[in-house]
Amino acid sequence: MATDGILKVKNIETLYGLIMAIRGVSLEVQEGQIVCILGANGAGKTTILKTIMGLLEDQPDKGTIEFMGKRIDGKDAEEIVHLGISYVPEGREVFPELSVEENLKMGAYTRKDPKGVKEDYNRVISHFPILAERKSQWAGTLSGGEQQMLAIGRALMARPKLLMLDEPSLGLSPILVHEIFRIIKTINGEGTTILLVEQNAKMALKISDYGFVLENGRIVAANTPKILLEDEDVKEFYLGIRSEESVKGYQRWKRKKRWR
């Protein structure tokens, strides 16, 4: 792996009280790439993103996080946003009783350049024309897909260098999922580095440059999509393709043996 990554996470451990949710994760994101983290429910994907974002008090407990060559672990969210990371949380988390426009305005909260903000507003509208139509409607009244678009648009309003998306496909119809992934790709094409967390491995790997597989708070595989797509376990557990007949217990045992 090259060493000039925009984001470098080294050996972090994150605790919820006494429970260790992230157990020594290292990962790196290269500038301009789309990198995805795959993993089942409860694997710790969201926790990684929240740790990077500085949303968990006093975390990571161990390890370091570097963004553009600067240590950001231990900094608070407001500084991290300012440095250029935006986060689209799992489940959209729009402000339900703010209008669409006000939601977008909040995305640019830390910025002090009205002109740039205006440009970015137009850029967001060009990606998501529907948001312009719904401009003065309460965000809580939008459909799920529209809320996801709003959440992404809102994150873009900070003009991030790194955009982190937490399961953007969750609960959306297949057509909308395609649409969202297409837009993610476009945004990446315009120069924003993307760290994507997904359970929908097939879609995620399709647009990614690199992928990590997370299980129980540990990275168990890391490679290019092409190789990951060939991996028997990825196939079985994330793509739903069962390999040759085998006893389930044996499979599980084998996997454990290989990955831990």
Partner 1 sequence: MFGQLIVSGLAVGACYALLALAMVIIYKTSEVLNFAQGEMAMVSTFVAFTILDAYHVPFLWAASLTFLFAILLGIFFEIVFLRQAKDPTVLGLIIITLGFEMILMGFAGWKWGPDQRSFPFPVSNVETYDIGGLLISKINFWTIVISVVLMFILFLFFRYTKLGIAMRATQQNPLAARVMGIRTKWILSFTWAISSIVGAAAGMLIAALGVLDPPMMMDPLLKGFASGVLGGMTSLPGTAVGGAILGIIENLFGGYISLAFKSVVAFAIIVLVLCIKPSGLLAKHYVKKV
Ligand X SMILES: Nc1ncnc2c1ncn2[C@@H]1O[C@H](COP(=O)(O)OP(=O)(O)O)[C@@H](O)[C@H]1O
Contacts to partner 1 by CB under 8 A: 53, 55, 76-82, 86-87, 89, 91, 93-98, 102, 105-107, 109-110, 138, 140-144, 147, 154, 158, 171
d(CA 73, CA 61): 10
195, 29 in Cβ contact below 8 A? yes
Tokens representing residue 238 in the block: 């994330």
To ligand X, the closest distance from the beta carbon of 89 in angstroms equals 11
To partner 1, the closest distance from the beta carbon of 89 in angstroms equals 6
Site map for ligand X, 43-62, x if CB under 6 A? xxxxx---------------
Q: Does 193 bind Mg ion (CB under 5 A)?
A: no
Which residue's CB is nearer to ligand X, number 21 or number 34? 21
Q: Does 19 bind ligand X (CB under 6 A)?
A: yes
Which residue's CB is nearer to partner 1, number 49 or number 220? 49
Tell me how far apart the terminal alpha carbons of the chain are, to the nearest angstrom.
21
Which residue's CB is nearer to ligand X, number 15 or number 68? 15
The angle formed by the CA atoms of residues 159, 223 and 253, to the nearest 5 degrees, is 125
Tokens representing residue 47 in the block: 């926790």
Q: Which residues contact 44 (CB under 8 A, 6 or more apart)?
A: 14, 21, 22, 25, 214, 216, 217
Q: Does 103 bind Mg ion (CB under 5 A)?
A: no
Which residue's CB is nearer to partner 1, number 88 or number 213? 88
**Given strand 193-198, what is the order of strands in its sheet?**
85-88, 162-166, 193-198, 34-39, 210-215, 218-223
What number of other Cβ atoms are within 10 A of residue 85's Cβ?
A: 27
Which residue's CB is nearer to partner 1, number 26 or number 199? 199
Contact residues toward ligand X (CB under 6 A) are 16, 19, 21, 39, 41-47
Contact residues toward Mg ion (CB under 5 A) are 46, 90
